[in-house]
Amino acid sequence: MSDLLLLDSPSLLSKLRTRTAISLITTNNHFGMLSTHILALAALLGLATSAPTLESRGRKLQYLGINEAGPEFGTALPGLYNKDYIWPDLSTIQGKIDSGFNVFRINIQQERLTPGGLTSGFEKYYLANLTQTINAITSKGAYAMIQPHNYGRFYGQIMTSTSDFGTWWRNVAAVYKNNDKVIYDTNNEFWGMSGRVVADMNQAAINGIRAAGAKQTIHVEGNAWTGAWTWTTAKGTDGLTNAETMGNLTDTENKLIYQMHQYLDTDGSGTSPNCISATIGSERLVAATNWLRANKKKGFLGEFAGGVNGQCQAAVKDMLNYMVKNSDVWTGAAWWSAGPWWGNYMFSLEPKDGPAYSTYTPILKAFA
């Protein structure tokens, strides 16, 4: 993981779960892996309305899904396909849909989609693979969430231009606006930034998406890793919390969802297989739940996981049960994570060899 040492913040090293996959990729020599994706602009066809949505009747949670990692892997930017990064296995996604999962958070890198800059044109092959992945999901009635896994940065620099960020999202939304199963997630886990800037960037994304004529749901993420347990307490560089800065976001379509993340280890980083207690899941959602309800907002847990052990299994069930009991504000959750390059990563839900697959698939399915 020497590549991680190039980063400045020790806290960042503990949080960038995706970046740790770089060592898995290199040590397992995936450079020759055969691609299951067609790199063709023909994939851009079929953007229009997909199959009917999977029935939510009888579901404990309206949305229950999985993060699909791979397109954001690696530190080389833009990087090389099938060397630095990979796309999800569409056949395993189909199996997950058949199991009842109905939302998939697709992790991408902005620099790979628009390598020339936030306002530049699309890299055609990356766009084609993104579109192919989206169509494979939405054609089966599930939702595909487009999520730049950028932590509020572009080529390593904090993004502050609301104009450029809004343009990036307007351009993306223009491509997918006719697919009503697409969800937009503004950016993954802003951190180390002014709370006001994070709110302004989220508002710019909302405005850009709506300017494109897109009417689908938008997920906004907060500062300080968008943690649920610290939503009301963790402060940005301007001394303000997400609770103080994010509540005034507006949307002409009234389709905003506040996405938060929550892990159950000691520091909430998701880097340990251990969970503090069997009830830590519900305990870490209480403050965020109260904020959502008091501010008449809806929430979604975009990342959560636990190790393969009895205490974590109990904690995950406890958290999901709490969300069901508070489904007036919680719309659902997505497990971290699945994808073809995770190898023996402790939270991998990739069929059928992911360490978490056999243990957590039946647990999660019970809430689908």
Three-class secondary structure assignment of the chain: CHHHHHCCCHHHHHHCCCCCHHHHHHHCCCCCCCCCCCCCHHHHCCCCCCCCCCCCCCCCCCEEEEEECCCCCCCCCCCCECCCECCCCHHHHHHHHHCCCCEEEEEECHHHHCCCCCCCCCCHHHHHHHHHHHHHHHCCCCEEEEEECCCCEECCEECCCHHHHHHHHHHHHHHHCCCCCEEEECCCCCCCCCHHHHHHHHHHHHHHHHHCCCCCCEEEECCHHHECCCCCCCECCCCCEHHHHCCCCCCCCCCEEEEEECCCCCCCCCCCCCCCCCCHHHHCCHHHHHHHHHCCCCEEEEEECCCCCHHHHHHHHHHHHHHHHCCCCEEEEEEEEECCCCCCCCCCCCCCCCCCHHHHHHHHHCCC
Q: Is 303 part of the annotated catalytic residue set?
A: yes
**304, 194, 302, 204: which is closest to 250 by C-alpha?**
204
Catalytic residue among 68, 72, 303, 350: 303
Catalytic residue among 72, 189, 221, 350: 189
Q: Is 189 part of the annotated catalytic residue set?
A: yes
Q: Which residues are catalytic?
A: 189, 303
